[in-house]
Amino acid sequence: MSGCVSGQLGKNNSGEYKNGMVVSAHPEASEVGIAILKKGGNAVDAAVAVQFALAVVYPNAGNLGGGGFMVYRSAKGEINALDFREKAAASASRDMYLDSVGNPIVNKSLYGHLAAGVPGSVDGMVEAHKKYGKLSWAEVVQPAVDLSQNGFRITKRQASELNGLHRDLMKFNPDGTAFINLESTWKENDLLVQKELANTLKLVQEKGRAGFYEGAVADSIVAEMQKGKGLITKTDLQNYHAAWRKPITGTYRGYKIITMPPTSSGGIALVQLLQSVEPYPLKKWGYNKDSTVQVIVEAERRVYADRATHLGDPDFYAVPKNELLDRQYNKQRMASFTWDAATPSSAVLAGNVKGKEHEETTHFSIVDKEGNAVSITTTLNGSYGSLVVVKGGGFLLNNEMDDFSVKPGAPNMYGLVGGEANAIAPNKRMLSSMTPSILEKDGKLFMVVGTPGGSTIITSVFQTIINVIDFEMPMQSAVAAKKFHHQWLPDEVYVEKDALDSLTTAKLKAKGYKIQARGAIGRVDAILKTKWGAYQGGADPRGDDKAVGY
Ligand code: DON
């Protein structure tokens, strides 16, 4: 198994647990989740507590001012999906980020007040808790109140990020925010106290959704919008509601996949990818060997082309779900692939764009003692979102509007293109790639998985699943294993350092594959239920991520 980072958990490793597990991007948030489970809370109670804790300790992506998706499976096998993705404001319009001659205005959908969609996370958590929670709302919000009020110790990575963002944060928040250190530079283990955020969390704790979408917090959001020429109004906030949706399901080599439907493209794309590669003997070829890479890249090329055309908010656009999930259709798409040479993306569908790295979202996976499982991916979009911190509210606003196709064929920050299906419209949700997923084997829980990574999310979840099912890796190894990525456009295979050995690279290049080195692909946080009934965590070594169990 070449290129695989160490850190495997064996059968008797102390990293396996019987009663419950939380894997998230920040150690403090994982600890909050486990404490809730130990107190008798279920996986949804822990998930709500972790979402709010991440909004405090992991402000890059944890959020109150963003959105996300939850996939849920109860111990008894009930499945559900919650869409708490942001929406465009009612006054948003199709060409709002274009100049007078119809070209996208650089950064207009990325930074500042106009980049923000109407936040969905608070309503999402209220809905999830109302339907499935066991502990009181006040109990599950309390850990985040404590962390914001008393402060937490920042990691080395966070200190350096906040120092790097000092100037940009000043630009969008001239009156200061808790993230700006005026006295000196941030250092590892400094205490970050967020008093304004604590007040917001207390209001949410007392009043539920009204604590955020009405009253003082809503007033602060609207005042902030007026200051920065943003669009979100009181009515937009009042009208925001998360949506329960029917999960996408599919099968792969006898495993059942339960994953996120539109407004994410992730679930449909994941099942399409699995269907596309299922006829091929990946296990025989081996992890990241040339035939394996070739088949995966060709599947990704075709599926991402579909994504660009056919995926968008299902409340606004009739996504051809059944057609895309038809096994025969995906087999047919692979029929144009030949072993001799790379299929040019231009032959799959027209277009020519450039991609860019710049990603921050976060995923967490939770299982409880009964076997209930929650898979949540949540985001502000870019790291620290729009960089606007709501004055008085103490939380960052998202820059999710960039996930719309601001102009047909014009790439977004992840190099993704789109058209009509994902055009901006009032109150519409922007398309996502987030792919929180849960797998079953023989009617029982098998895996909880998801990741950040913009356009690479779908790839990372797909390859993590294959690493476990085809290449029989334990959870930690499957997560740590090096990944590669193709997204149709640009027509390049992005590879993490050491993902492919030199012989494999040479063989692929000879067939016309353009191999491009890049930094980390994904940051998967996952849990596997082993044959012997233990929970095995996979916390991505690419970040500060941590698996905690009991
Ligand atoms: O919803 C999406 O697909 C993007 N806004 C996700 C952004 C992301 O993953 C950034 N992360 N690393």
Tell me the pLDDT tens digit for each residue of 429-449: 999 999 999 999 999 999 999
Q: Is the dihedral of CA 452, 457, 463, 464 positive or negative?
A: positive
Give residue 354's pLDDT: 30
- Measure the CA–CA gap between 237 and 214, rounded to whole angstroms: 7
Closest CA to 360 of 433, 432, 454: 454
Residues, the chain: 550
- 379 alpha carbon to ligand 1 midpoint, in Å? 6
Distance of CA 415 to the CA centre of its chain: 16
pLDDT value of position 2: 28
User: Which ligand 1 atom is nearest residue 403's CA?
Assistant: 5
Atom 11 in ligand 1: which residue has the minimum CA distance?
360
Structure tokens at 471: 């290449």
pLDDT mean by block of 10 residues, the chain; 550 residues: 32 70 96 98 98 97 98 98 98 97 95 97 98 98 98 94 95 96 96 98 98 98 97 98 98 98 98 98 98 98 94 94 94 93 84 39 97 98 96 98 95 92 97 98 98 97 98 96 96 97 97 96 97 95 93
In tens, the pLDDT along 390-430 reads 999 999 999 999 999 999 999 999 999 999 999 999 999 99
Pocket probe mutation, ligand 1, options 110, 381, 403, 485, max atoms within 8 Å of Cβ: 381
CA of 381 to the centre of ligand 1 (A): 5
Catalytic annotation, pick one of 233, 259, 292, 361: 361
Q: Which residues of 167-184 are buried (b: 16+ CB within 10 A; e: fewer)?
A: eebeebbeeebbbbbeee
Span from the CA of 430 to the centroid of ligand 1 (angstroms): 11
Both structure tokens of 374: 């929650």
Ligand 1 lining (C-beta closer than 6 Å): 359-361, 379, 381, 400, 403, 432-434, 452-454, 457
Give start-end residues of each CATH 1.10.246.130 domain in the chain: 245-358+434-530
- The CA distance from 161 to 104, in Å, is 28
Separation of 380 CA from ligand 1 center, angstroms?
8
Q: What is the 3-state secondary structure (H, E, C) of 363-417?
A: EEEEECCCCCEEEEEEECCCCCCCCCECCCCCCECCCHHHHCECCCCCCCCCCCC
Residue nearest to atom 1 of ligand 1 (CA): 432
pTM for the full predicted model: 0.95
Q: Are 91 and 83 in contact (CB under 8 A)?
A: no
Strand 79-84: give its sheet, edge to edge.
243-245, 79-84, 67-73, 373-379, 361-367, 21-24, 546-549
Question: Phi, psi (5° rounding) for residue 165?
Answer: -95, 0
* 437, 457 Cβ separation under 8 angstroms: no
Predicted confidence at residue 326, as pLDDT, reads 93
CA of 341 to the centre of ligand 1 (A): 32
For residue 191, the Cα-to-chain-centroid distance in whole angstroms is: 27
Q: Which of 404, 406, 457 to mutate to test the pocket of ligand 1 (most atoms within 8 A of CB)?
A: 457
Residue 361 a catalytic site member = yes
Strand partners, 71: 81, 375
Residue 97: name the closest of 77, 80, 111 by CA: 111
HSE value, Cβ hemisphere, 13 Å, CA-based, for 458 = 30
Give the ligand 1 atom nearest the CA of 434. 3
Of 80, 185, 208, the closest CA to residue 138 belongs to 208
Record the tokens describing residue 25, joined without a space.
């991007």
Dump the DSSP string for 217-270: HHHHHHHHHHHHT----HHHHHH---EEEPPEEEEETTEEEEE--TTBSHHHHH
Q: Given this model, what pLDDT does residue 13 score? A: 41
Query: What pLDDT does 15 receive?
Result: 79
Residue with CA at minimum distance from ligand 1 atom 5: 381
The tokens for 11 are 């059968």
Fold of 245-358+434-530: Serum Albumin; Chain A, Domain 1 (1.10.246)
